[in-house]
Amino acid sequence: MARTAFTCGVPVLKAVKDGEGAVSLSAEEHKAFVRYLDLKNDMEDIERKHIYFCGHRHSFDYLKRIGAI
């Protein structure tokens, strides 16, 4: 959600992400692009952690069900 709202506020990001050819960025647009990449990485990290911990939760339930713990 934050990433989508951020992208709408900075039109040049669409050209950088989806466009073709050369794109030149001002210093402010470059900062916005770096912020966008940071948000994207944060969201991917959250997703990886969620998947990781869900896997552990399911493993724990399975081990309890078969009587291993």
Phi, psi of 68 (to 5 degrees): -75, -20
Q: Residue 23: which domain range? A: 2-65
Supply the pLDDT for residue 60: 79
Supply the pLDDT for residue 4: 65
Supply the pLDDT for residue 7: 65
Supply the pLDDT for residue 41: 95
Work out how many domains the chain is built from and give that number.
1
Q: For the chain, which residues score pLDDT lower than 50?
A: none
Supply the pLDDT for residue 44: 95
Supply the pLDDT for residue 61: 80
Supply the pLDDT for residue 3: 56
Burial class of residue 13 in the structure, from the number of CB atoms within 10 Å of its CB (0-12 exposed, 13-18 middle, 19+ buried): buried
Length of the chain: 69
Q: Is the pTM of this model over 0.85?
A: no
Distance separating alpha carbons of residues 6 and 32, to the nearest angstrom: 9
